[in-house]
Amino acid sequence: MPIRCPLTIASLDSEAFELLDYRVMGHAYASQNELGRLCDECAYEADLKARLLADGFKSVHTQVPVTVTHRDFSKEYRLDLVADDALYELKAETTLASAHEAQLLNYMFLLGVRRGKLLNLRPSKVQGKILATGLTQEQRRHFSAVTERWKDLTPACIALRETLCDLFRDWGAFLSVDLYQEALIHFLGGAGSVEQRIRLSRNGLDLGMQRMFAYAPGAVLRLTAVTDNQQYIESHLRRLLALTNLKAIQWINLNHALIEFTTITSKAGE
């Protein structure tokens, strides 16, 4: 199986999740009141686990491994807290951010569960946010590839495109863009051979070096996950390309279940 977890986690409906969450939140407030606001996540995690078990929760697990594989690629995530099938991602941050939501959604999609909750114990009042999705594992594996603006400049470009489509068939869409990128770099030879420092310059003025993923001669990979205003991103990629001696940026945008492949070339590379 491409996604492995030692726990079988049921997908709770709204009513079942909220009943459990009411109890969990009571203990989260008690934990913050007793421990204060300045502990690391691990302290709140251990304290919550002990409190929930003492309250009669049947199954409480922390740092649960979730392993994602494809051929010889492997990536392990850790779930902070699973309490009687209710999934929690714990934070000790000033406030919750969109990146935290994306992290929890990534876990939910991998596990095929419909609900999870972010729990932040750093603010003056415990901050919580329930996330929900109606997407099934089967639905996430239905995707389309748009290749009209893509050019297979080298055999490596063909391998890049086919590998990403294989990942979508195996794992499905909607996962973290960083996961797909990490896997692609692995199959392109690893960060040691792909990651390079590319010199930038404007009208002869040296602007320094920038990290890029140069997987083929004169071509670099740029992976994004934007769902609107792609023209704006493309305009800035063209400006970036103009600062280099590269021939092309192979831009792949993950637009939900749509993979948009675009080759952006320099005038010299056209």
Q: Give this prediction's pTM.
A: 0.94
Q: The tokens 């010889």 sit on which residue? A: 72
Would you list the DSSP string of 86-103? EEEEEE-SSS--HHHHHH
Average pLDDT over residues 73-102: 97
Average pLDDT over residues 245-254: 97
Output the pLDDT for position 269.
Answer: 47
- Residue from 98, 99, 80, 100 nearest 90 by CA: 80
Average pLDDT over residues 53-82: 98
CA–CA dist 49, 28 (Å, integer): 10
Confidence of residue 266 (pLDDT cuts 50, 70, 90): confident
Q: What rounded mean pLDDT belongs to the chain?
A: 96
pLDDT digits (tens, 9 = 90+) for 16-31: 999 999 999 999 999 9
Cβ count within 10 A of residue 230: 15
Query: Does the pLDDT value for residue 41 go beyond 70?
Result: yes
Average pLDDT over residues 218-244: 97
Question: What is residue 56's three-state secondary structure?
Answer: coil
What percent of the chain has a predicted confidence (pLDDT) above 90? 97
CA–CA dist 234, 241 (Å, integer): 10
CA–CA dist 27, 35 (Å, integer): 12
Residue 184 phi, psi dihedral angles, 5° rounding: -60, -45
pLDDT digits (tens, 9 = 90+) for 114-168: 999 999 999 999 999 999 999 999 999 999 999 999 999 999 999 999 999 999 9
Confidence of residue 267 (pLDDT cuts 50, 70, 90): low
- Residue from 149, 187, 148 nearest 167 by CA: 187
pLDDT digits (tens, 9 = 90+) for 191-201: 999 999 999 99
